[in-house]
A and B are shown apart, each in its own frame.
Chain A
Amino acid sequence: MKVLVPVKRVLDYNVKARVKPDQTGVDLSNVKMSMNPFDEIAVEEAVRMQEAGTATETIAVSVGPAKAQETIRTALAMGMDRGVHITTDEDLEPLAVAKILKAVAEAEGAELVLMGKQAIDNDYGATGGMFAALMDWPIGQYANTLAPGEGTIEVKREIDGGLQTVTLKLPAVVTTDLRLNEPRYASLPNIMKAKRKPIEAKTPEDLGVDTTPRLTIVKVTEPKTREAGVIVETVAELVDKLKNEAGVI
């Protein structure tokens, strides 16, 4: 089956976000950017499916500025076949990204779309479900384990109460959770090889997608910071403070 993996370029998970003084957003100048960690997990799963012979072709797609190409290259260096880069300098909402992904999935004839459960920058967790609805495909969110079958895929999902298993008819969407796999590091030869793999570039206009935002950002602020408290010397002192000072036990 043909597998499509949307990958987003985001502020690296080790970097603490800083709000811009004018409160219009988070400062992304001169900071380390990486592939969204959940998308790395999706890429790893796609490559494993290819190695196992269940995926016939794997395509990475990113919607974003020129530098999103680096994110696609990372996916290619991990082993994916080729890339599609939808170029835009706007910070699109998940609805617009889902519409773009629909156009790409239809053009490519994708049978499985593996994506992250959440982008760690905007924390929306919405694109997968939105894309699935636009396609009228079933979805398996928060995948812990995947088992492809004949025209189906079984998804073990991480839910609030434990684990749930569902079977989806293909074509389908799966969103990844942390325990699905451990993404590999790209080897140097594979990084070199990835430089020659094709990346096709298009714009949202080429795809005829309307990307008008549905929300306006009034402002972005720093949250209240917590003051560090006191260091207690003994467990007895801790219990005393919790009981008599804080009154929480």
Chain B
Amino acid sequence: MATLVVAEHNNTSLSEATSKTVSAAKALGTDIDILVAGQGASAASEAAAQIDGVRAVITVEHDLLARQMPEAMEATIMALMDGYDTVMAADTTTHKAYMPRVAAKLDTQQISSVTGIDGDVFERPIYAGNALAYVKSTGGKKVVTVRTTAFPLSGDGGSAASESKSVEIGDTGSTFVSEELTKSDRPELTGAKIVISGGRGMGSGENFALIDTIADKLGAAVGASRAAVDAGYVPNDYQVGQTGKAVAPQLYIAVGISGAIQHLAGMKDSKVIAAINKDEEAPIFQVADYGLVADLFKALPELDAELAKIGY
């Protein structure tokens, strides 16, 4: 049988999350097709065909798929599922919004935010990552979302066949109104090699400029704790944690963040963690490889200057 991987894209470009999902799918040892569901998505489809290990790229275009509305995604995938025994997608907000719909229609339990696959056993963190559950399907089709930070890129050089399909989508009861996307020239949080995050200790949105300067020097993405988002310092899409984004960069720098379990859940798989906090008792120091007990308003300008000294 075969696995259908649903592409993460915005019609004009394909996100790296797609390639990482393909590499998770490879662990199942079946043929892999990619579904590009969109509108005017030929560029995304062409990019998908280059991912290593893919048999075919199926493109379905429809107005309601321009932003991959959940009801329309359910209809599209259900129309294709006869040919597949597994459907897999990244655990981004786009896919998390409709994959449970597909699972319910297939009368199966979604396996959410998988971090490892060994034969037919799926590993997934539960309780904010304080436990790891290993689960197995008892039969039927599988609906799987994957935490892409746990899987490498699949590589390119593939030459998948391309086909277009059309799907009937009736009245879904849902209409797109508008979008306010956070503009940034920095790398995407979930794929960045370096992430620097600020917490409540930053004190204000303006003070995040101290973090931005360093992020720009290092080519890093900027993240935040829930407290910093709730206080309105930064937009919601900056939130790292159990109920925000999971990141696993080479270097994670936590500034003015205490290290609550919900925050740790989203960053403790980073290769190296550095923390700056004025409270030496802050729990973040229990997971940090390098801890600096200091006032961030003094430490961040110093960090900026020290980086300049070594050529940044």
Contacts and interface: CB of A to CB of B under 8 A. Distances in A.
Contacts of B128: 17, 120, 123
Given A123-B113, A162-B237, A239 B70 contact: no
B129 A158 contact: no
A33 B266 CA distance: 23
Contact of A124 (B110, B136, B272): B110
Contacts, number: 272
Interface of A is mostly: mixed
Interface in B206-230: 218, 226, 229-230
Contacts of B109: 93-95, 126, 213-215
A121 B128 CA distance: 7
A51 interface: no
Given A13-B262, A129-B70, A162-B180, A179 B101 contact: no
Nearest to A228: B286
B155 to A, nearest CB: 23
Interface string A155-172: 001111111111111001
A108 interface: no
Interface in A100-141: 117-118, 120-134, 137-141
B100 interface: yes
A160 B127 contact: no
A218 B134 contact: yes
A19 interface: yes
Contacts of A162: 179-182, 235-237
B9 interface: no
B27 interface: no
Interface of B is mostly: mixed
A141 B91 CA distance: 14
Interface size class of B (residues with CB under 8 A): 35 or more
Contact of A248 (B92, B251, B280, B293): B251
A93 B306 CA distance: 52
A141 to B, nearest CB: 4
B303 interface: yes
Interface string A138-162: 1111101000000000100111111
Query: Which of A125, A142, A217 is most buried by chain B, counting CB atoms within 10 A of its CB?
Result: A125
Nearest to A11: B127
Given A123-B242, A162-B182, A164-B179, A238 B292 contact: yes
Contacts of A158: 93, 236-237
Given A215-B135, A248-B271, A159 B69 contact: no
Contact of A95 (B104, B194, B285): B104
A163 B179 contact: yes
A172 to B, nearest CB: 7
Interface of B: 67, 69-71, 74, 92-94, 96-105, 107-113, 121, 124-140, 172-182, 194, 218, 226, 229-230, 235-237, 242-243, 245, 250-251, 261-262, 268, 271-274, 280, 285-294, 299, 302-303, 306-307, 309-310, 312
5 contacts: A138-B174, A139-B174, A229-B273, A229-B289, A235-B302
